[in-house]
């Protein structure tokens, strides 16, 4: 029985490597859509929307930190417009 699961695991791994190499956008888009669908069903629309917005904000702040951009300078530029 464990031999069957090893073969299945190997085939799934091979497929994922192929999909990432040949169709990364489709794989990422499908995965995000599937995850959002599950979140909407389990949490509801508004909670999922808030969770998504907080996640995107975290990503933007993390990317800013990785790119060595000063977050305060960016915030000052945004706030001076208003």
Residue range 1-41, pLDDT digits in tens:
688 999 999 999 999 999 989 998 898 889 999 999 999 99
Q: How far apart are CA 11 and CA 15, in angstroms?
A: 6
5 occurs within a structural domain: no
Backbone angles phi and psi of 44, in degrees to 5: 100, 165
30 occurs within a structural domain: no
Backbone angles phi and psi of 46, in degrees to 5: -65, -40
Q: Which residues contact 48 (CB under 8 A, 6 or more apart)?
A: 36, 39, 40
Q: How far apart are CA 61 and CA 75, in angstroms?
A: 11
Is the pTM higher than 0.85?
no
Per the structure, how many domains does the chain have? 1
68 occurs within a structural domain: yes
């Amino acid at each position: 029985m464990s031999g069957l699961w090893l073969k299945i695991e190997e085939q799934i791994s091979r497929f994922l490597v192929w999909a990432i190499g040949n169709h990364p956008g489709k794989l990422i888009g499908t995965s995000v859509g599937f995850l959002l669908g599950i979140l909407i069903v389990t949490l509801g629309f508004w909670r999922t929307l808030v969770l998504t917005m907080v996640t995107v904000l975290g990503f933007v702040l993390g990317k800013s930190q990785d790119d060595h951009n000063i977050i305060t300078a960016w915030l000052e530029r945004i706030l001076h417009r208003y």
